[in-house]
Amino acid sequence: MTQPQTLPLAAVYEGTTWEGINSVTLERPAGTPLNLTSAQPRMTYYTVGERRERLNLAVGAGIQLTNAAGGVFRVLPQVLPLAAGLYYWEIIVTLSTGEIVPIFAGTQEITRIGIAS
């Protein structure tokens, strides 16, 4: 299985709008776009240390396909409904063939207002 690329995400204050991820373009190793027309990109947040799902974002619910045939999507700016804490997250794409492709992974801190990290 392909390993996801580590992508750092800035901390965000609890209850405020996170800027999202503006644009992701997926390509095959040969440089051709990965057609996402029948694919399902998903971003999942887990509590660090527990590996317990806390939030799932998908197309129509926080993720937008901006050019499916060209392999382009984005994670929309939004208020993440997560309590203050440290979260592990990952973005995977499930292709129409059933193949699961890990794209990005990392951690993100949700901080209480008034407590800078």
- The reported pLDDT for the residue numbered 91 is 96
Tens digits of residue pLDDT in 44-89? 999 988 888 999 999 999 999 999 999 999 999 999 999 999 999 9
What separation in angstroms does the CA of 92 have from each of 1, 3, 26?
Answer: 12, 11, 11
Q: Looking at the whole model, is its pTM more than 0.75?
A: yes
Neighbours of 57 (CB within 10 A): 20
pLDDT tens for each residue of 28-42: 888 889 889 999 999
Residue entry with tokens 């939004």: 78
Share of the chain above pLDDT 90, in %: 71
Q: Is 47 left (phi over 0), alpha (psi -120 to 50) or beta?
A: beta
Token output for 74: 């984005």
Do the Cβ atoms of 63 and 73 come closer than 8 Å? yes
- Single out the residue of 108, 4, 22, 20 nearest to residue 66, CA to CA: 22
Max CA separation in the chain (angstroms) = 48
Angle, alpha carbons 73-63-68 (nearest 5°): 35
Tokens representing 9 are: 């995400």
pLDDT on residue 28: 81
